[in-house]
Amino acid sequence: MTPALRSLAAAILLGAAAPALAQEAPAGPQGSAAQSLEVAGHFDNMPVGVAVSKDGRLFLAFSRAIDEKEPLSLAEVKDGKPVPFPQGLKQENGAPGKDRLLSVQAVAVDGKNRLWIVDCGKVGANPVVPGTAKLVAVDLATNKVVKTVTFPAKVAGATSFVNDVRFDLTKGKEGTAFLTDASPEGPSGLIVVDLASGKSVRRLDDHPSTKATPGFVAQVEGQPLIQKKGPQAGKPFTAGADGIALDADGQHLFYSPLSSHHLYRVSTVALVDAKKSDKEVAATVEDLGDRGFASDGLIGDGAGRLYLTDYEHNAIVRRDKDGKMETVVKDAKLLWPDTLALAQDGTLYITATQIHRGERMQGTDKRERPFTLWKLSTDSHPMTLKSLKK
């Protein structure tokens, strides 16, 4: 990251002590589905991403783009403790390479029970290291790496921040991956990967729907999200397309910029059609309206509902197929809900990264330790979609 991307590794990825509630953020959606949070685990380091396998194995991502001193970047939780995973990939801080996980930003499990790892290829305030931004698949039956897709510079450049991923295994010979690039400095957008060939392309590059809303300033714990340290001190922290989710029939991809109250969707058929021009793909984008809150992570369930984090109100919101929103849980302890993972039994796992309490946001690091992984009981089940074929 340059001055601005430094805001990403240190900003979007920041934390800070609970600021005084000087003002109230606009109220988020209300509803009757109120649930209680439960602790799923405590960790000395900050988990950003979370994924759960069909048989309940839990995986956490620790991003070195946020904290370059992280001792490991991907772990499986065993007996409540993070254990480096998988054994075939090096994770120690050091020179980047194809056999190394440099900075894992997200993890997800597909319909074949493979763990996919998003390595954003970025450490701290440095630009993306050429050849390190990649997508890695691990077969959870053997715990062995079975596929690696490296992103070329034209897809994930020096200012990129490859953020999250979802899969549709019915599109293409071996399926398709959809990723977000949330870059706060360079162009943000979507990345589409054909898993059979490994070919990747950018879509909706620098499109209004993938960029931060102009003039947007998030309100978190009653305070505007203004950077207090670093080259962007005094300016709001903003970033582009972040959360991503498929609908239950795989026809649309939902996404939302981190710095926006708007939710968008785009045709997946158009995204994967190499004959479609960028203009034709953009013509399928739908603005689903102002939600009244900003989101980080998103996830869809098998009934076509969408769970959204609401980091401005310490909440999780559920959107029904008809667009109705209701707050599932709202709790002051849910400090910047970041990423979501849905287990077979309906348990929703939530990472809480306290980004707004970090050094760049507050001047000093005021995040509370240990970091908590939360869980919530729901009546949902994961998408076995028509798009997650087995």
Report how many domains make up the chain: 1
The verdict on residue 41 lying in a domain is yes
Q: Whose CA is closest to 160, among 229, 194, 193, 206?
A: 206
Res. 30: pLDDT tops 60: no
Surface-to-core class of residue 275, CB atoms within 10 Å of its CB (0-12 exposed, 13-18 middle, 19+ buried): exposed
Print the domain residue range for 174.
3-20+34-78+85-377
Contact of 385 with 169, CB cutoff 8 Å: no
Contact of 222 with 22, CB cutoff 8 Å: yes
The verdict on residue 388 lying in a domain is no
The verdict on residue 195 lying in a domain is yes
The verdict on residue 291 lying in a domain is yes
The verdict on residue 390 lying in a domain is no
- Kindly state the tokens that stand for 347: 């348990």
- The whole-angstrom separation of Cα 327 and Cα 308 is 9
Res. 35: pLDDT tops 90: no
pTM of the model: 0.90
The 10s digit of each residue's pLDDT in 258-302 is 999 999 999 999 999 999 999 999 999 999 999 999 999 999 999
Alpha helices of the chain — where are they, by DSSP H? 3-7, 268-272, 278-282, 359-362
The verdict on residue 384 lying in a domain is no
- Give the per-residue pLDDT at 12: 39
- The whole-angstrom separation of Cα 306 and Cα 312 is 18
The verdict on residue 26 lying in a domain is no
Q: How many CA atoms lie within 13 A of 188 on its CB side?
A: 29
The 10s digit of each residue's pLDDT in 203-220 is 999 999 999 999 999 999
- What is the domain-level CATH number for residue 265? 2.120.10.30
